[in-house]
Amino acid sequence: MHGLDNHNDNGWLSDALGEQEYSVSGSSWDRLSTRLAALNRARARRRRRKAVAFAGITAVLISAGSLTAYWWNTSGLGKGDVYTQAETEGRSGSNHYLSDHKGLDPLNPAMYSGEPANQQIHSTDGTSLVEALPLIERKITSFEAGFAPIKQPGSEVDRMNGIPPFELGDVQPATPVSTSTKIELPTTERRFQTRFSLYSRILPVNDLSSAKNAEVQTTDDVEEYLVQMPGVNQVFSTPEFSNPIEIGLSVSQQFSRRWFVDAGASWMRINSSSRTPFYKGTQTLRESVVNQVGIHVGLQYEFIQKGRFRAYASTGLSAYKVTRVRSRYEQYVNDEVIHRSTQNDQPQGTTSFIDVAAGASYNISGNFDVYGEGSIRLQQDRLLDIDVPDISGFSISGFKLGVRYTVK
């Protein structure tokens, strides 16, 4: 079957057709660049969605872990509630429940005297019951000590527990009490802290080389005019960011031993520079100073509280709004400035984020702490319609340094 399985007689065909060239239409690149830009935007969207999903899952995991840790740490505190009247009555026959607690002496005669126990019951180390109870459970606001009719000395249970029998005459047994005696204890107040923090956030600026394909929506008259010209249907520019500064103030309120709710506001300033080439030798340089204000709310969980040192994880939401963009324009033709102008752009929309952070603080003196925090900031929504403060310019990770004043 000649020529079916070898290419020997087709070499000339390959030579003749293989290097053939055809002219490409002028609109071909425009079509392609539009498709590439759309692809890049779609990729960026996918990346953002993944990031948001990751942040959400991380936030849920941190919250779940923190809650579990909280419940685990506080699960023992509920024991105080066990000693309610019902159980007290169930166990008071041998008075063992008191001997369970911090050296309280069940043999103290005062326990059987019928006198108000909060004045007369003492532990073996001399601590009054009132003083000892907070050690058992701070959350108990009332304590019901039930005294059922006392068994005769030397009962079986007492013997089993090594309690020597009473000798009649040594101690006057208490009058049997048929109803429980309620002992009102002073409420133990938990002092929750309020913290005021002043911080500065460092936001590394990203290399935007991968974002250069992004189609830029123009905002100034010159660009709009050029876009309307034949053959110019898109304007591309490459924004470069520098000198980001963010200063903020926040208030944290403790609502349990390890949990804090945090809210605050911040101000941010960043410089932006974009150079937009148009026709041969013609380009526009725009240098802007962007100001934005932000607010945030979040939850913080302190998982290490050791001496002066605290370590915590937090998650929350923040939103930023551009308040002012002051821009300086320079138009060049062959490196010669032909036009200069300044313009205050209108305030823009808001951008919201999910913040996940971990940090540590150290108490330096009295009420003052210094703290540092690493955070991941994931974009939730973007409403900006100008390129200048394009958030793609910022790293998703940031670092915060601050000083904190605690009202104790």
Partner 1 sequence: MDDKQLVKACKKGNVKAQKALYERYAPKIKGICMRYAANAEEAEDILQEAFIRIFTKMDQYNFEGPLGAWIRRIAVNTSAEIYRKEKKVRNQADIDDYSNQFHFTDHIIADLNAKNLTEKINALPDGYRVVFNLFAVEGYSHKEIGEMLGVSENTSKSQYCRARAALRKMIEHEIEVFNARVG
- Name the residues that contact partner 1, by CB under 8 A: 1-5, 7, 9-10, 12-14, 16-25, 28-29, 31-33, 35-36, 39-40, 209-213, 236
Q: Which is nearer to partner 1, 56 or 277 (CB)?
A: 277
Q: Is 263 helix (H, G, I), strand (E, B) or coil?
A: strand
User: Counting Cβ atoms within 10 Å, is residue 339 exposed (0-12), middle (13-18) or buried (19+)?
Assistant: exposed
Contact status, residue 332 vs residue 282, Cβ threshold 8 Å: yes
> Least Å distance between CB 310 and partner 1?
43
Least separation in angstroms between residue 50's CB and partner 1 is 18
Give whichever of 48 and 258 is closer to partner 1, judged by the CB atom. 48
Q: Which two tokens stand for residue 170?
A: 């040594």
Name the residue nearer to partner 1 (CB basis): 5 or 167: 5
Task: Write phi, then psi, for 173 (nearest 5 degrees).
Answer: -60, 150
> Which CB atom, from 7 or from 280, has the smaller least distance to partner 1?
7
Beta carbon of residue 23, minimum distance to partner 1 (angstroms, whole number): 6
For the bound state, the minimum distance from the C-beta of residue 7 to partner 1, rounded and expressed in Å, comes to: 5
Integer Cα distance of 92 and 82 in angstroms:
13
Nearer to partner 1 by Cβ, of 182 and 212: the residue is: 212
- How many residues in total does the chain contain? 408
Min CB(22)–partner 1 separation in Å: 4
- Three-state DSSP at 275 gives strand
Q: Which is nearer to partner 1, 8 or 365 (CB)?
A: 8
- In 3D space, the residue among 1, 390, 58, 403 whose CA is nearest the CA of residue 214 turns out to be 390
Q: Residues with Cβ < 8 Å from 264, sequence gap 6 or more?
A: 197, 248, 249, 250, 251, 295, 296
Q: Which residues of 198-225 are buried (b: 16+ CB within 10 A; e: fewer)?
A: ebebebeebebeebebbbbebbbebbee
Of the two residues 42 and 61, which places its CB atom closer to partner 1 in the complex?
A: 42
Total Cβ atoms within 10 A of residue 404: 20
Please, what is the minimum distance in Å from the beta carbon of residue 275 to partner 1?
12
Shortest Å, Cβ 44 to partner 1: 11
